[in-house]
């Protein structure tokens, strides 16, 4: 957890992008931050306070006065409490009010009382963003020391395409990491990650594959990018996309394509993580034509693929770290330890298919990390994002 103990006020305003505030809160809380949400009155038309209070684990603040207790919500206390105030999404109205000190709601009074850094993530239609008034207000906010998280370009709620989308929560998270960790743990480290399954062609319409979703490898890529690493993510066919701008995705299909890319890149990286479920066998002679039922002799001859992890283990220099995975169904630790040494890994992440919620098709995983010095660490069942954190922490210890 990289935001342990950090106190963050999240200001939510009236914008279609308000739903992204929910995702943002989850990410912040997962990283250990304490989040208090302040909503403008109109934001409640877009997302309910109940959703945001449940996710943040703290009552959402919106009114100056608390009707039930008769107390008032002190924007001064809030402003002093926070290590960071983030307004996301920030509507044109809220930006205008912030820029001009129009303190007619709790979000603006909190902003005016805040002594911490303030980040603003605008979200609006492209013409509103482009309007001189908005531009002037944003530039005023910049000049007075606020940090603007530039909106991204893409399809907007209006159906128009252009600049105005609130930046992705994962990217905002990484910017927050930047703020708090001027010394990022993996700054300028070059990392190679394999992810997903491989598809081994039988004929132009059929293949041998597996159920790997790629989630574990992609989570690792996002976490490590957040810590300043440059990532080459070599992925087999998956339905997910990497978000962080420091992740370069290289899409491959087969084990041999993955092998070629890994060999090409390995010499230039500091860390390589083999999270892909690489096929161990591939058809010896894939048919160039679709195999017809009446011509098929019901046997597909297979040959072994290259063991990418093992090959990289042979090439590994002393200043490189190589991490592997082992998904086992029996004799789990013994099998994992065998792989750890035969592939010359620095540590192996073991998950057992006998544990409920672990393995390919889940969003959760239960791992054991075994390193080459025989240190064994067992972890609870967690989301793959949290598991990725544990793996990154182990890598940081080795560095
Ligand atoms: N691996 C690899 N290339 C292969 C096979 C496996 O890079 N051709 C990597 C995986 O990405 C993983 C580790 O090796 O990090 C262990 O993979 P696994 O399939 O569990 O082990 P295998 O060596 O293939 O052994 P087995 O399938 O017999 O368990």
CATH of the domain at 130: 3.40.50.1950
Comparing C-alpha atoms, which of 127, 122, 133 is closest to residue 162? 127
CATH of the domain at 285: 3.40.50.10300
Same domain, 75 and 207: no
The partner residues of 251 in beta bridges, in order of sequence, read: 235
Query: Is 273 found in the same domain as 167?
Result: no
The answer, yes or no, to whether any atom of ligand 1 lies below 6 A from the CB of 308, is yes
**Residue 241 domain-assigned (yes or no):** yes
Task: Say whether 210 is catalytic.
Answer: yes
Whether residue 183 has pLDDT greater than 90: no
Q: Is residue 2 part of a domain?
A: no
Residue 63 lies in a domain: yes
262 and 358 together in one domain? yes
Among candidate residues 126, 156, 180, the one where a domain is terminated: 180
What atom of ligand 1 comes closest to residue 255's alpha carbon? 8
**Do 160 and 271 share a structural domain?**
no
Q: For the chain, how many structural domains are there in total?
A: 2
- What distance in angstroms lies between residue 326's CA and the mean position of ligand 1's atoms? 7
The verdict on 106 and 75 lying in the same domain is yes
Q: In whole angstroms, give the CA distance from residue 143 to residue 4.
A: 30
252: its two tokens:
């491959």
Looking at 180, 208, 239, the residue that finishes a domain is 180
Per-residue pLDDT, 359: 67
Query: Do residues 292 and 336 both lie within one domain?
Result: yes
In short, whether 305's Cβ falls inside 6 Å of ligand 1 is yes
Q: Among 322, 327, 339, which is best to mutate for testing ligand 1, by the most ligand atoms less than 8 A from CB?
A: 339
Same domain, 173 and 220: no
Q: How far is the CA of 314 from the centre of ligand 1 (A)?
A: 15
- If you measure from the C-alpha of residue 20 to the centroid of ligand 1, how many angstroms do you get, rounded to a whole number? 37
185 domain-assigned: no
Which is catalytic among the residues 68, 105, 137, 210?
Answer: 210
Note whether residue 119 is domain-resident.
yes
Ligand 1 in reach of 274 Cβ (< 6 A): yes
Q: Whose CA is nearest to atom 9 of ligand 1?
A: 309
Residues 165, 32, single domain; the answer is yes
List the residue whose alpha carbon is closest to atom 28 of ligand 1: 280
Q: Find the 204 Cα to ligand 1 centroid distance in Å.
A: 26
Instruction: Say if residue 346 is in the same domain as residue 254.
Output: yes
User: What is the helix (H) or strand (E) element at residue 215, kind and residue range?
Assistant: helix 215-226
Please tell me if the CB atom of residue 327 comes closer than 6 angstroms to any atom of ligand 1.
yes
- Look at residues 122, 145, 180 and tell me which one is the last residue of a structural domain: 180
Return the residue whose CA atom lies nearest to atom 12 of ligand 1: 325
Flag the least confident range among 6-15, 138-147, 283-292, 310-319.
Answer: 138-147
Specify if 1 maps to a domain: no
CB burial of residue 295 (10 Å; 0-12, 13-18, 19+): exposed
* pLDDT at position 182: 60
Taking the centre of ligand 1 as the mean of its atom positions, its distance from the CA of residue 71, in whole angstroms, is 61
Q: What is the pLDDT of residue 228?
A: 87
Residue 103 or 64, more confident? 103
Tell me, yes or no, whether 144 and 216 share the same domain: no
* Statement to judge: residues 274 and 389 lie in one domain: yes
| CA 63 – CA 192 distance, rounded (Å) | 49
Q: Note the pLDDT tens digit of each residue in 33-72.
A: 999 999 999 999 999 999 999 999 999 999 887 766 667 7
Q: Are residues 223 and 349 in the same domain?
A: yes
**% of the chain with per-residue pLDDT over 90:** 76
Q: Is residue 107 part of a domain?
A: yes
Give 112's DSSP letter.
H
Tally DSSP H helices, then E strands, for the chain. 13, 21
* pLDDT score, position 143: 83
Q: Which domain holds residue 118?
A: 7-180
Two tokens at 317?
Answer: 């220099």
Residue 371, in any domain of the structure: yes
Predicted pLDDT of residue 89: 98
Please give the model's pTM, rounded to 2 decimal places.
Answer: 0.68
The confidence score (pLDDT) of residue 10 equals 98
**CB 47 near ligand 1, within 6 Å:** no
């Amino acid at each position: 957890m990289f935001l342990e103990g950090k106190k963050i006020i999240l200001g939510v305003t009236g914008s279609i992008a308000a739903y992204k505030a929910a995702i943002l809160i989850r990410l912040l809380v997962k990283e250990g931050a304490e989040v208090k949400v302040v909503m403008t009155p109109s934001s409640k038309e877009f997302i309910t306070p109940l959703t945001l209070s449940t996710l943040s684990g703290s009552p959402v603040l919106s009114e100056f006065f608390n009707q039930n207790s008769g107390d008032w919500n002190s924007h001064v206390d809030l402003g002093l409490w926070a290590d960071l105030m983030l307004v996301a999404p920030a509507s044109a109205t809220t930006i205008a009010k912030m820029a001009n000190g129009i303190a007619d709601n709790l979000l603006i009074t909190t902003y005016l009382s805040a002594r911490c850094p303030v980040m603003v993530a605008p979200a609006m239609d492209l013409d509103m963003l482009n309007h001189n008034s908005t531009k002037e207000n944003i530039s005023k906010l910049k000049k007075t020391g606020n940090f603007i998280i530039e909106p991204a370009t893409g399809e907007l709620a209006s159906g128009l395409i252009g600049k105005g989308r609130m930046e992705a929560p994962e990217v905002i998270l990484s910017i927050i990491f930047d703020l708090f960790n001027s010394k990022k743990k993996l700054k300028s480290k070059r990392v190679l990650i394999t992810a997903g399954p491989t598809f081994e062609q039988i004929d132009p319409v059929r293949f041998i594959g597996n159920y790997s979703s790629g989630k574990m490898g992609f989570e690792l890529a996002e976490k490590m990018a957040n810590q300043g690493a440059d990532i080459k993510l070599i992925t087999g066919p998956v339905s997910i996309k990497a978000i962080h701008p420091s992740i370069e995705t290289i899409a491959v299909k087969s084990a041999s394509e993955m092998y070629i890319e890994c060999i090409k890149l390995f010499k230039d990286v500091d860390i390589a993580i083999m999270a892909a479920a690489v096929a161990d066998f591939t058809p010896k002679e894939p048919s160039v034509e679709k195999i017809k039922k009446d011509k098929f002799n019901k046997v597909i001859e297979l040959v072994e693929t290259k063991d990418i992890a093992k090959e990289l283990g042979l090439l590994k220099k002393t200043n490189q770290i190589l991490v592997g995975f082992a998904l086992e169904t029996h004799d789990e630790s013994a099998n994992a330890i065998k792989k750890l040494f035969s592939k010359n890994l620095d540590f192996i992440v073991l998950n057992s298919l006998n544990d409920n919620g672990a393995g390919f098709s889940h969003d959760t995983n239960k791992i054991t990390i075994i390193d080459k010095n025989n240190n064994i660490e067992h972890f609870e069942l967690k989301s793959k994002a949290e598991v990725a954190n544990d793996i990154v922490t182990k890598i940081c210890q080795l560095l």
